[in-house]
Amino acid sequence: MEVPGSCLAAVERALDVIARKTPDINAFAFLDPERARREAESGAHASGELACTPVGVKDVIDVAGMPTRAGSEVLPSRPADHDATVITRLRQAGAVVIGKTHTQEFAYGVVTPQVANPRAPGHIAGGSSGGSAAAVAAGMVPLAIGTDTAGSVRIPAALCGVVGLKPRSRQVPLDGVVPLAPSFDSCGPIAASVHEVRRAFEVMAARPLPMDDGSAAGLRLGVPSSTTLGAMDDTVCDVFDYAVERLTDQLGFEFHPVEMTPFEEWIPPRAVVQMTEALAVHEDAGWWPDRRDQYGEEVAENLERGRRFSAIEFLRAERTLNHLVAELGEVVGSVDALVLPTTPIPAPTRAEVNATEPGSPRRPVVNALTRLCAPANIADLAALSVPAGTTGDGRPIGLQFVAPDEVVVLRLGRMWESPV
């Protein structure tokens, strides 16, 4: 992730692209160009694994001196006093924080309505890390940080045609990060290539990864059946079929068809647990219901739904998820990784998901976009989304690798990206 020239030149280039493209993309919620310039000029960021790398940070992560609003009117606009640990690590590695990227309110959704998709004008960027993915896809910054509770790094990465990693939940510290559902939350990088994502993850996790020998020998890929995957857009199906053929016939991976409970069946119990945990977060923080009138309607509706679940419903949902996680664990344990589409549909139009009349497609879109991503959060697996193709009108389609460890998904992603 090296940027030629001085740190200041790298920062100025990033700020110039942001200024030119913000009217169309609107990826950033807050910028601090003067501080970025001062840091670049100081020389403190001229060395390290991410030396002179401009970074966008999702606006649920504390950056000292910048407000953390989580895309909401609920939180005050005062600057954070301290960097989250993940930001401290990025700075120590030489990264320069440019600003905070837009998120859907409290990271609770898959649209990020403020942000436009740089690769598919008129369509959503995805969410909730939509500003981070859009900033990378638009060339504003080479690296952005997001959070992922049910696909919030991978969904926008897929829809915007970039690379996004969801690490296992505690690989990257979550202190200084506004939680959504703590049992499922994780923090990961978004960049234009697997190499850049890998380097950022090593810094964020303070974990050097072993060298990748680039060999597919003996690696077994599990490919879920169409019944397991559920309904998918025709073009997504075509791209996925091509990806499986390329992985096996051209790259030499072993193909293993796998069957398990359809991913659709994870949705109801996951909703119960996620909504209940989110409600607890907001009540414990003193935000809900005291500031009810400051919430957007989608988050408020989800919190209201969380209040209606009984203890028995929560326990039943947990029991169901535990069964599904055990089944998924057995399947993943029988292969080296699963390969599946990141999302079963390409990016919908912004007009479609922003509709407010009765019968609005927002909820079906949320369920569709999270269906193939959320199980990795619930089972605490590593997952990587890489670009795999496009629709006829140019909308990106993502391919997802899921495995028990980040090393495996990054190795598979690198081979997919650079089969040499």
| One-character DSSP codes across 368-389 | HHHHTTHHHHHTT-EEEEEEEE
Query: Count of CB atoms within 10 A of residue 145's CB?
Result: 29
User: Is there a contact between 190 and 389 (Cβ–Cβ < 8 Å)?
Assistant: no
Catalytically active residues are: 58, 128, 152
User: Is there a contact between 342 and 316 (Cβ–Cβ < 8 Å)?
Assistant: no
| One-character DSSP codes across 131-155 | HHHHHHHTTS-SEEEEEESSSTTHH
Can you name the residues that pair with 147 across neighbouring β-strands? 187
Phi, psi of 302 (to 5 degrees): -65, -40
**Which amino acid type is present at position 281?**
V
Q: How far is the C-alpha of 38 from the C-alpha of 22, rounded, in Å?
A: 23
Query: Count of CB atoms within 10 A of residue 34's CB?
Result: 8
Query: Count of CB atoms within 10 A of residue 113's CB?
Result: 19
Nearest residue to 193 via CA among 230, 147, 157, 140: 157
Query: What six digits make up the tokens of 370?
Result: 């999270």
Phi, psi of 45 (to 5 degrees): -110, 15
Question: Coil, strand or helix: which one is 220?
Answer: strand
Phi, psi of 401 (to 5 degrees): -110, 135
Q: Report the length, in residues, of the chain.
A: 420
- Side-chain-side CA neighbours of 368 within 13 Å: the count stands at 17
Q: How far is the C-alpha of 282 from the C-alpha of 106, rounded, in Å?
A: 10
Return the H-helix or E-strand segment holding 416. helix 406-417
User: Is there a contact between 135 and 48 (Cβ–Cβ < 8 Å)?
Assistant: no
Return the H-helix or E-strand segment holding 28. strand 28-31
User: Is there a contact between 160 and 398 (Cβ–Cβ < 8 Å)?
Assistant: no
